[in-house]
Amino acid sequence: MAETMVKLKEYDSAPDFTLPDAQGVAVGLKDFDDKIVVLYFYPKDNTPGCTIEAVDFSALLAEFSAKNAVVLGVSPDTPKCHQGFIAKQNLRHILLSDTTKEVASAYGAYGKKMMYGKEVMGIIRSTFIIKNRQIIKAMYNVKAKDHAKAVLAML
């Protein structure tokens, strides 16, 4: 499988970003300088794996908050699409819209991947733990099931 152009690793500076949330409000990395940021990229709202991952992160939100962490989910879906996903799955964490895939690309979470045996361009399910705008942990090609629990255990 081909690699993405950028692969972030521990101690790299986290690429700065500002993206709209489900309500269209601009949310940026700078808004959480006093917190640990769990930034996860996922391909698409309302798909099986992405739903499992989002529901799990949302279910553990109180535990993330207790560790001074904020959870931000990012996909290429529009804010309107995120609204429906949040309502349907009763999600409690912030979802951000990266329709241009610029932020995903900056994090190495967009590139060539295998899908049903074919190489395609798309979002690579990835998670980053960020503190003081520095990458503490970078995880690529993560599995959706039980991922939120594993991330929580790393904090």
Query: What is the strand order of the sheet 126-131 is part of?
Result: 94-97, 69-75, 36-41, 126-131, 134-140
Nearest-angstrom CA–CA distance, 79 and 138: 26
Residue 128 carries which DSSP code?
A: E
Indicate left, alpha or beta for 116 from its phi (over 0: left) and psi (-120 to 50: alpha): left
Q: Which residues of 69-102 are buried (b: 16+ CB within 10 A; e: fewer)?
A: bbbbbbbbbebebbbebbeebebebbbbbbeebe
Q: 79: number of CA atoms within 13 Å, CB side?
A: 9
133, 13 contact by CB (below 8 A): yes
Residues forming the active site: 50
